[in-house]
Chains A and B, each alone.
Chain A
Amino acid sequence: MNQAEVSKLVSKLRMNIKPEHRRLKNLKGPEGRIDKLRKTVTGLIKFERIELNINRGDEARQYAERLISEAIRHGDCHKPTMDMANFWLLEKQLVHKLFKVLVPRFENSTVSYTKMIKAPKAQNTEHTNKIVLELRGNPYPDLIVKQPNNRLWIQNVLLDAAKYDYRQSKISEIAANIGKDTQLSSSSLTANNKGGTQKEES
């Protein structure tokens, strides 16, 4: 049982984090892993949308989110944060981009700053899972297209019919019991519910 660190404060990351870090094979060991991630984070901040393998991408995403949250918390003039940004971003103009562009963009955000989308699997080549890592609010068109016109799709058509039938039966029950003093019996309600579920699942 370890005592939690109290010297530094961190903001919560708004994404799923595995309990242990990935090692990311390379010759120099832990130092090489950090170097690899530095390059990826620099690329993400620079291009705002990159395509890469899932393991490296997920690790880099965590580091990028942490960097942005530190920049938001401490701001421009905090020396350790500037030092951290200077270490992680290999191109120095990106440090300015981080503090002047990304911090105001994400300051009041309640969701994660990056988005990870699974890319289509390449055919007839290596079986590596590719992902697209992008910063929210990037200038490119969206990758995931939302479906606004799904009213006429079969599941919604069937559900609309089931909803109508269910509510009709409920209304008829209430109408039948209006004159009576007895309360609605639970057994009649469950029978209607069963009828409702059969339709909704079909």
Chain B
Amino acid sequence: MAVTLRKSTELFTVAKWLTRRDCRTLSSLPEKAKLASLEVTEKAETSRRRPKKVNPLLENRHAYPEFLPDPNPKWRNSLREKLERADMLKRRNQIDIPEFYVGSILAVTIADPHSQGKTNRFVGICIERKGCGLRAEFTLRNVVDHQGVEVRYDLYDPTIHKIQVLRVEKRLDDKLFYLRDALPEYSTFSFDMDPEILPEGTPVPINPVKVELKPKPWLERWERQELQGISNIEQYLTKKDKVRRELRKTPWEKYDLMKQYRKTIPIEEQTDIWSEVNSQLQQLQLARKKSTRKRTFSAPKTQLG
């Protein structure tokens, strides 16, 4: 109620702020006033407050998101998470699980008892990455003989022989389920695609491609999901769709601090996790770099004259 009653001009608020700069100076308690005066002198020395530096270990969370546990406190247990991480690292020692994101194109070879040569290779674009710990999964999508095919793999499945990243890139969205309703050319990738190796140290490129959707019916209401990667969504929306979209919007959700908190693992816990796991991951990354360098310098191309 105090908020609604008070209507002041800008000058008045500035004047008020200047006079009541530190409410402790007005305190009747002498100790608090003394502290306030000390603080004023300290503040005068440091003009601008610098934000705290972010621990570089935390950058690992983008490349290895499955190492972070499920944030739901009902299922959290530090010992189980530790054992799970140890198992994940053991599997990573056996096979190179590369760094990839949603939107990267991968080729996965698995052991298949029913196919010729006992292995099966599938190439596709990664449309989602879900699950945490040993349950981590990713889905690859491709269009084979005009039929859209999606295959979901467990990241830590011991039957996977090889995960090869043909193109490392990110897209404008976290999940690319809208490719199911997009024109097939956006999901088609040749099985004989050559791996595109980026020079060392380059940041992961973000592909700004905007996909064209097929006319309705769609599998989901893409217009309500705030997706950046669709170009022609507006042309397929009816008046009702647009009205309902406005009504269903929840603009307060992005300010909901506790909702964000409950979905995230806090910095202190993340630092513990990454410091436990980082040295081994760095070793594996070095080994991977060595193998890629060997490949690029392996056979010099001869000119056939």
Contacts and interface: CB of A to CB of B under 8 A. Distances in A.
The reply, when asked whether chain A contacts chain B directly with Cβ atoms under 8 A, is yes
Contacts of B87: none
A67 B268 contact: no
B131 A75 contact: no
Interface string A1-18: 111111011111100010
B260 interface: yes
B252 A34 contact: yes
Interface string A61-85: 0110011001011111110000010
B73 interface: yes
A109 B146 CA distance: 61
Q: How large is the interface on B (under 10, 10 to 19, 20 to 34, 35 or more residues)?
A: 35 or more
A33 B259 CA distance: 13
B257 interface: yes
A139 B267 contact: no
Contacts of B54: 9
B65 A21 contact: no
Contacts of A50: none
B297 interface: no
Contacts, number: 135
B250 A19 contact: no
A68 to B, nearest CB: 10
A3 B3 contact: no
Given A1-B70, A11-B268, A75-B51, 18 more contacts: A1-B133, A3-B66, A5-B260, A6-B61, A6-B62, A9-B264, A9-B267, A10-B261, A10-B266, A11-B267, A21-B262, A66-B261, A75-B50, A84-B257, A139-B23, A139-B24, A139-B32, A141-B29
13 contacts: A1-B133, A2-B263, A3-B68, A5-B260, A5-B264, A8-B260, A21-B262, A42-B3, A62-B257, A90-B3, A96-B17, A97-B23, A141-B29
Interface of A: 1-6, 8-13, 17, 19, 21, 30-31, 34, 39, 42, 46, 48, 59, 62-63, 66-67, 70, 72-78, 84, 87-88, 90-93, 96-97, 99-101, 103-104, 139, 141
Interface of B: 2-3, 6, 13, 16-17, 21-24, 27-29, 32, 39, 43, 48-52, 54, 58, 61-62, 65-66, 68-74, 129-133, 135-136, 250, 252-253, 255-270
